[in-house]
Structure 1
C-alpha cells in the first residue's frame, strides 16, 4: 500500500480492533505492533467489520445527476463534496489528506490482503474446509469490490482501445507496507478485478447468507462480474454472469404488497432482493429522508407513471413541496450501494437488447416492472425492435437505480458510446456544466498520495 496512507490504515486498524476486545479474536505481533489473524474465526471477524468492509465511495453520486442542492446548503459542505458537486477541476482543492473515498476502499484492500495471507497458513481439514473456502472467497470478493469502486472514480472509463497504455489504479496484492506501488494500466486493473471475482465465485457458496448479507456469496461475485463487464461494454460476458447470478437467486419484491407511508422506509437490510449489502461512506449530502436539502431531479421524478409504485416507495414530498429520496435497501438513511436482483435483471435485459435478443430483453424488463406496478394496472411493455427495447430498458434503469452509486459509471459508459448526456448545476449565481468526454469524469488522485509517490496524476 502507498506509504503515505498505510500508516493511517494501520492506526485505524488498531483502533477498530481495540474497540472489539469482547471478541478477543486477534493476537498482537510484538515486533510490529500489528494484530495478525491466526484462525478462520479471526479472519471472519475481520471481514465482518461492516464499518470498514461494507462502505462505498460517494463522490460519484455527489457528482451525478440524480439531485440538486441550493447554494445555502452547498456552502455548508466539506471541500470534497463541494468540489465534486460542481465538478471542480481540482477535485480536492482545500484538502491536504484523508480523502475517505480513496482511503476507505484501500483500507478494505488491506484487510482483504491480510486475510488472504492468513488463510494460506491455516491447514485445511475435513472439519474446516467449507469455512476455509468461504473466508478466502469473501476476501477475494472484498478486494475486487474495492478495486472496482476505486476504478470508477480515479481511473478513466474503460476503453477497448489501447487499455494497456491508459493508467488505471494502484493494485496492492500483499499486506506488506514497506514498498511504494504505482498505477497499473487500465487493462491490468480490470483483469485483476475479474480474476479476483472469478476466484471468489470458485470458493463461495451458492447460498446467500440471509442473516449476514454483509457477507458475499457466489451470486454476489457473479453479480459484480456482470456489473464489471457491463462497465467495460463486454455485453456477452455481462449477460453470461447476470444470467448465472439470477439462476442462483432470482427473487424480486412485489411493491404492491408493501405498506407505503409518506415518510417511511419500506425496507430493511435483510430485504429479499439484496444479494450483498453495502452503503455510502459518511456524507453530508446523501442521507435519504434526513436531508431535505437534497432535492431529487424533477425530470426524474416526473418520469414515473401514475401506477408505478417506485415513485411513492423511493421518494417523498417534503413540507417545502420539493422531492427527497426516502427509501434505501440498506434500511437506514445511509443509502444502499450493494448488489440486488433488480440491477441484475436490468443488466441481463440491457445486454440481450444490445445483442439483438429482443424478446429475452423485454421478458426481463416486464418481469421487473410487474413487481413494481400496481398489480391491477400492469400491462406488459411491447417494442418493435432492439433499439426501442434498449431505450426502454435504459429509461427504466434510470428509474429503478437512482441513489445506488451506479449513475456515475452509467454516465461515463453511456456518454462514451454517444448518449450525449450533459450535466448542469447552478451555484452562487454561476452555471456549471459537465459535457461528455470531459476529463473531470475522472477524479484527481488525492494530493498527498501524488506528493509522496510522484505517481502519474490524472490529466486536466
Structure 2
C-alpha cells in the first residue's frame, strides 16, 4: 500500500501542472497501474484529489448567485468571464472542469483495464464491486462533462449533435474524435446498467457508490434527457434502496454549518458524496444569492434560515464553505419522481412526493400542503420551483435551465448588469454550451463548440 500511495502521489503531482491538458502529461501507465485489488481500491478511494469533485463553471453561470458591482473587478479572469457569459472565457488558460473530469475517466479506465488482467482471484465479489465503482465513476464524469461541453439533449437531434470524445482506454496517446450526443449519453446509461448489477446495496464510506447511487445517477441523467418515464423508474428504484429524509426542525438554524461537517461525516439523505471544485468566486464576501430566488422561500420554510446568512449560502450538505455538496441524495430523488409523476398526469402521486419532502423542511408548528385545486401545470410549476430552492448549489440548476428552455412555458432569460451594461443569456444561446479550451483543441484536433 505504501508503494501505490507513493506512486499515486507522484501521479497527482504531475497532474497539477496547468501548462498542458491532463491526458497529455500522464506518466507511463506501467508506473501507476497496480496489480492487486487493494491497489485498485486505493485509486478509486482517492476521492479528495480525483473522484470526489464536480465542476464549478456551471454554478457561476446558472444565475442563482450574483456578485456586487464592487466585487466583479476582483474576480479572477475566468470567473468574471463565465459570470458575464463572455465568448472567450479562458483567455488562453486551460479548463479545470474539463481536465478534472477526464482525469476521472482516465483512472476509471486504469482500473477497468487492470481488473481484466487479474486471473484466478477467488474474491469475485470484490472484483465486481471495483468494476462497478469504476463504471459508475466514468458515467458520472461523462455526465458532468456533457452538462457543460455538449448541447442540451434533444431526442430528435441527438444523433447528429456533437457529444464528447469518449475515451474508452487508458492509452494517453489515443485522441478520439467527438462522438454523437446520442452515443455519449448511451455510454453513460450502459455503464450504469452494468454498474448497478455489480455494486453492493450498502457500503461505507459514501464516497463509494451503491446500487442506490447507480439508480440515482441514472435518474439525474435521464431527467436531463427529458426521458421522464425512465427517470421516474430510476428514481423509484433508488428510493427503494434508500428513502430517508431529515427533519430540518432538528437542525440548528443559527449555526454557521447546520449540517454535519467534513467529507467523513454524512447526513442520512446522502447517497453518494461529491463536492464542487474549489473556486474563489463562491468564497468571496461579495457573492450573494439572487434576491428573486431568496424571496421564493416562505417564512415558514426552515431552508431560509438553514441555507442562508445575510444572503450568503451556508447550507451545504458538506457542512462547510469548503465542502459544497454536489452529490446524490434522497431529496433530489423525491423531486425527480414528483416531476415525472406530474408530467405523466399522475398528479396525486406528485403531490404526495412533494408533500412528504416539504413537511421535513417546514416549521413543525406549520402544516405544509399542496393545494388540491391546482391544475396539473401549476403542480409541475410548483415542483420545479421547489427543485430550484432545494437543490441550490448542487450543480443541477444549469442542467435544468438547458432542459427546460426547450419548453415554451419554462423558458428563462438570465440577466446581469455591470458598469451600466446589461448582459443576457437567452434560451438556445450558443453560450449555454461552454467552449473547449484551446490546449485541448490543439492536442486532440477535435471540433470546437460554436460560440
TM-score (norm 1): 0.89
* Alpha-carbon distance, 1:330 to partner: 1.3
What corresponds to 2:431 in structure 1? 440
Please say if residues 259 and 267 of structure 2, whose CA atoms lie closer than 8 Å, have aligned partners that are also in contact: no
Out of 383, 399, 407, the position equivalent to 2:397 is 407
Query: Aligned Cα RMSD in Å?
Result: 1.9
What corresponds to 2:92 in structure 1? 95
What corresponds to 2:3 in structure 1? none
Q: Where in structure 2 are there 5+ consecutive unaligned residues?
A: 1-6, 16-26
Q: Distance in 1 between matches of 2:12 and 2:28?
A: 20
* Alpha-carbon distance, 1:389 to partner: 1.4
Q: Distance in 1 between matches of 2:173 and 2:109?
A: 14
Q: Where in structure 1 are there 5+ consecutive unaligned residues?
A: 1-10, 20-29, 318-322
Is the partner of 1:80 in helix, strand or coil? Answer: helix
Matched, 1:281 2:270: no
Residues 51-450 of structure 1: pairs in structure 2 closer than 5 A: 51-92=49-90, 94-97=91-94, 99-123=95-119, 125-126=121-122, 128-207=123-202, 209=203, 211-268=204-261, 269-287=265-283, 291-317=284-310, 323-333=311-321, 334-383=323-372, 384-418=374-408, 419-450=410-441
What corresponds to 1:3 in structure 2? none
Q: Distance in 1 between matches of 2:12 and 2:441?
A: 27
Q: Distance in 1 between matches of 2:335 and 2:120?
A: 39
Is the partner of 1:184 in helix, strand or coil? Answer: strand
* Alpha-carbon distance, 1:348 to partner: 0.3
Is the partner of 2:281 in helix, strand or coil? Answer: coil
Q: How many residues align?
A: 427
- Most deviating of 443-452 and 237-246: 443-452
Q: Distance in 2 between matches of 1:12 and 1:412?
A: 37
Please say if residues 259 and 318 of structure 2, whose CA atoms lie closer than 8 Å, have aligned partners that are also in contact: no
Please say if residues 80 and 95 of structure 1, whose CA atoms lie closer than 8 Å, have aligned partners that are also in contact: no
What corresponds to 1:452 in structure 2? 443
* Alpha-carbon distance, 1:36 to partner: 1.1
Is the partner of 1:303 in helix, strand or coil? Answer: coil
Deviations 1:233-266 (A, max 9, x none): 1000000000000011000000011122153333
* Alpha-carbon distance, 1:285 to partner: 1.3
* Alpha-carbon distance, 1:182 to partner: 1.2
What corresponds to 1:8 in structure 2? none
Q: Distance in 1 between matches of 2:333 and 2:58?
A: 21
- Most deviating of 367-376 and 74-83: 74-83
* Alpha-carbon distance, 1:124 to partner: 5.7
Deviations 1:45-92 (A, max 9, x none): 101111211111110100011110024322222222111101001232
Structure 1 pair 308/32, CA: closer, same or farther in 2 (3 Å)?
closer
Please say if residues 79 and 95 of structure 1, whose CA atoms lie closer than 8 Å, have aligned partners that are also in contact: no
Q: Distance in 1 between matches of 2:245 and 2:156?
A: 37
Structure 1 pair 337/15, CA: closer, same or farther in 2 (3 Å)?
same
Deviations 1:362-382 (A, max 9, x none): 100000001101122023212
Is the partner of 2:268 in helix, strand or coil? Answer: coil
Please say if residues 38 and 122 of structure 1, whose CA atoms lie closer than 8 Å, have aligned partners that are also in contact: yes
Structure 1 pair 96/17, CA: closer, same or farther in 2 (3 Å)?
closer
Please say if residues 349 and 365 of structure 1, whose CA atoms lie closer than 8 Å, have aligned partners that are also in contact: yes
* Alpha-carbon distance, 1:306 to partner: 1.4
Please say if residues 70 and 427 of structure 1, whose CA atoms lie closer than 8 Å, have aligned partners that are also in contact: no
Structure 1 pair 119/299, CA: closer, same or farther in 2 (3 Å)?
same
Q: Distance in 2 between matches of 1:91 and 1:397?
A: 29
Structure 1 pair 312/32, CA: closer, same or farther in 2 (3 Å)?
closer
Structure 1 pair 31/339, CA: closer, same or farther in 2 (3 Å)?
closer
Q: Distance in 2 between matches of 1:133 and 1:453?
A: 33
Q: Distance in 1 between matches of 2:195 and 2:113?
A: 15
* Alpha-carbon distance, 1:12 to partner: 8.3
Is the partner of 2:92 in helix, strand or coil? Answer: coil
Q: Distance in 1 between matches of 2:192 and 2:13?
A: 27
Is the partner of 2:138 in helix, strand or coil? Answer: helix
* Alpha-carbon distance, 1:32 to partner: 5.8
